[in-house]
């Protein structure tokens, strides 16, 4: 959408609230004046508003805060002309004032509300003309004594982006009394709801249902059949839910919050306290801020494979929007997006081949990659380890990938080799914001960049690329931008990969612990020891616990299991609570749940669980 569809309704709500608040004062004023009416002045918006009596009864002078150019004055003027009873308005950027004329007594509160919706702040001037408020420069976030210089005007926070980090930050900043300008160049909602988490999990679930109809552990008693997959209808269902969630969780919230002004365009820094926004409808806006949050997300990486850029390859965005299931699909990549979509397309009918530069999940515990590779091959997904495409060509509707082991042909090619931060084009150097070698913005635990007035959160920063990390970082950034003091602790951050079986991890792997100088004691429990898995006739996978040697304190968990994502938060809480494996093994877990596997795995540190009764008390 190109603009906020209910701008007028939001403005009307603001006017209504302001008028209700001022109603007693207006009643007393009418009583004192005997319901007198004054003739409207005939002067235009660029001329004087009449004599002293007319100016006193039919005009209001406002001080306008946060204008940075003559264009700002024009925006304020247009906003004032939409307010009830206004006939003319003259806004002076040089003086920082607005003179408003109209029929009868104008309501200053309603005028201020109209200005606020336009993204500025209005104060009623007692004497006109008022002096232009001094421009506020950047202030140190810890300089609490500087707060009174705003003279009652709320802190202005600019947020670049509208995804998980941006929305969380905007709402928290408003909650803490700030005024927010949100800048978005594309679709509201960012990656997760539009082209990431939500559509991918819908497609994965549909593929899982198709797989179970084709094959399950109960086929001897329940007849299996080849499913008929109508990708067009599945896509429509998927997109309808995406649209619904974007509307409910992003668009409607923005429309209903008068303290958040929305600009549709692309932002870049002019300096450490100013943004220039190239508006989608044309022209530019200058936005001065007290604090700024960069939450621009990330985009798929395209590896420098000869010939690739000349072909119609897919990234995850195109794959999730495809109206067809290709007969053959080649996938370049070996991590989360690559494996999730590879299995989904295979289960919906594609013959899938994965080209892994090393092994699947090579950055994780080796047992994870081994388990998923075995599960994929059992389903007919071809996994080519230690294989790279040396050249890619496309002709007559077919991709030809040249590898060290020969040629690979497919109707479609999915490139899922990671995601890179969206930081180019922001002119970060103009604001003194540092990035690392990958282009990610360098931040501290408070989400503060090298410029103390500018923060960053989510995939554009040097943080793990998960939407829940982004949202948590955005919330904490907003608190810190509004003079709070909180940090984001990622020491017990759970992660889930939605393959089947799922992959779930939290805390240290053995290798990472050893790298950090921590001696470990670990145990691995295969799922044929977990009653829930036995009852499901699906014992693929394992649960591994990593403990600190000597103390027995739990410091990490890795799991490959159906619904592993549902058990990993329990492990995260155990690590956060500094529980030992003995503490974990002594807890009550409901029988015949997958999470009971954590208790059983903990008990293996001191017992042979094969010799325990079924409920492992």
Active site residues: 67, 69, 72, 120, 192, 197, 614-615
Element (H, E) at 282: none
Q: What are phi and psi of 106, to 5 degrees?
A: -80, 145
Q: Torsion-angle region of residue 380: left (phi > 0), alpha (psi -120 to 50) or beta? A: left
Question: Token match 């950027």: residue?
Answer: 93
CA 286/CA 38 separation, integer angstroms: 39
* Lookup: tokens for 537: 């006739």
CB 134 within 8 A of CB 162: no
CB within 8 Å of 230: residues ≥ 6 apart = none
What three-state secondary structure class fits 182?
Answer: strand
CA 223/CA 470 separation, integer angstroms: 45
Question: Token match 């990993």: residue?
Answer: 568
Q: Which residues of 100-129 are buried (b: 16+ CB within 10 A; e: fewer)?
A: bbbeebbbbbbbbbbbbbbbbbbbebeeee
CB 172 within 8 A of CB 155: no
CB 83 within 8 A of CB 101: no
CA 195/CA 172 separation, integer angstroms: 25
CA 343/CA 352 separation, integer angstroms: 8
CA 10, 21, 88, 285 torsion-angle sign: negative
Helix%, strand%, coil% for the chain, nearest 5: 35, 25, 40
Element (H, E) at 84: none
Which residue, among 71, 42, 34, 74, has the nearest Cα to 58 in the 3D structure?
A: 42
CA 37/CA 40 separation, integer angstroms: 9
CA 293/CA 141 separation, integer angstroms: 14
């Amino acid at each position: 959408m190109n603009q906020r569809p209910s701008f007028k309704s939001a403005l009307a709500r603001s006017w209504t609230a302001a008028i209700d608040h001022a109603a007693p004062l207006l009643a007393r004023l009418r009583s004192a004046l005997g319901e007198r009416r004054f003739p409207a002045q005939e002067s235009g918006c660029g001329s004087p508003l009449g004599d002293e009596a007319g100016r006193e009864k039919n005009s209001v002078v406002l001080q306008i805060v946060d204008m940075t150019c003559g264009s700002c004055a024009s925006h304020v003027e247009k906003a004032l002309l939409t307010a009830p009873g206004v006939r003319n308005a003259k806004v002076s950027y040089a003086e920082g004032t607005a003179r408003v004329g109209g029929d009868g007594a104008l309501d200053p509160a309603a005028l201020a509300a109209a200005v606020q919706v336009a993204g500025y702040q209005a104060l009623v001037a007692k004497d006109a003309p008022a002096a232009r408020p001094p421009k506020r420069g950047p202030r140190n976030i810890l300089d609490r004594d500087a707060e009174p210089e705003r003279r009652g005007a709320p802190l202005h926070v600019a947020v670049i982006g509208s995804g998980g980090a941006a929305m969380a930050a905007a709402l928290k900043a408003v909650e803490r009394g700030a005024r927010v300008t949100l800048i978005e160049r594309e679709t509201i909602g960012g990656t997760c709801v539009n082209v990431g988490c939500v559509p991918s999990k819908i497609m994965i679930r549909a593929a899982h249902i198709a797989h179970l109809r084709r094959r399950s552990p109960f086929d001897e008693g329940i007849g299996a059949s080849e499913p008929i997959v109508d990708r067009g209808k599945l896509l429509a269902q998927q997109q309808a839910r995406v649209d619904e969630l974007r509307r409910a969780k992003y668009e409607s919230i923005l429309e209903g919050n008068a303290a958040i002004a929305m600009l549709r365009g692309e932002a870049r820094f002019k300096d450490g306290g100013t943004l220039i926004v190239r508006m989608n409808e044309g022209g530019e806006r200058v936005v001065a801020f007290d604090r700024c949050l960069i939450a621009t997300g990330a985009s798929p990486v395209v590896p420098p494979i000869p010939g690739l850029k000349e072909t119609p390859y897919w990234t995850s965005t195109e794959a999730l929007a495809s109206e067809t299931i290709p007969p053959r699909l080649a996938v370049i990549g070996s991590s989360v997006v690559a494996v999730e979509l590879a299995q989904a397309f295979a289960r919906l009918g594609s013959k899938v081949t994965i080209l892994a530069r090393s092994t699947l999940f090579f950055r994780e515990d080796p047992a994870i990659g081994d388990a998923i590779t075995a599960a994929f091959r059992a389903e007919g997904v071809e996994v080519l380890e230690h294989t790279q495409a040396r050249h890619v060509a496309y002709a007559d509707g077919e991709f030809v990938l040249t590898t060290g082991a020969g040629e690979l042909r497919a109707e479609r090619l999915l490139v899922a080799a990671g995601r890179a931060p969206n930081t180019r084009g922001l002119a970060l150097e103009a604001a003194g914001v540092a990035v690392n070698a990958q282009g990610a913005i360098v931040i501290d635990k408070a989400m503060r960049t090298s410029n103390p007035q500018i923060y960053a959160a989510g995939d554009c920063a040097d943080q793990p690329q998960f939407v829940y990390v982004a949202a948590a970082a955005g919330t904490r950034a907003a608190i810190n931008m509004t003079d709070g003091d909180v940090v984001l602790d990622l020491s017990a951050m759970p992660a889930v990969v939605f393959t089947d079986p799922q992959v779930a991890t939290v805390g240290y792997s053995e290798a990472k612990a050893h790298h950090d100088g921590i001696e470990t004691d670990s145990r691995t429990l295969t799922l044929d020891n977990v009653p829930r898995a036995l009852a499901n006739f699906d014992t693929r996978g394992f649960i591994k616990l990593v403990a600190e040697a000597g103390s027995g304190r739990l410091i990490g968990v890795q799991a490959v299991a159906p619904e592993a994502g549902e058990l990993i938060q329990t492990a995260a809480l155990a690590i956060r609570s500094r529980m030992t494996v003995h503490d974990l093994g002594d807890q009550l877990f409901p029988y015949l749940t997958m999470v009971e596997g954590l208790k059983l795995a903990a008990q293996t540190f001191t017992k042979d669980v094969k010799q325990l009764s079924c409920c492992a008390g």
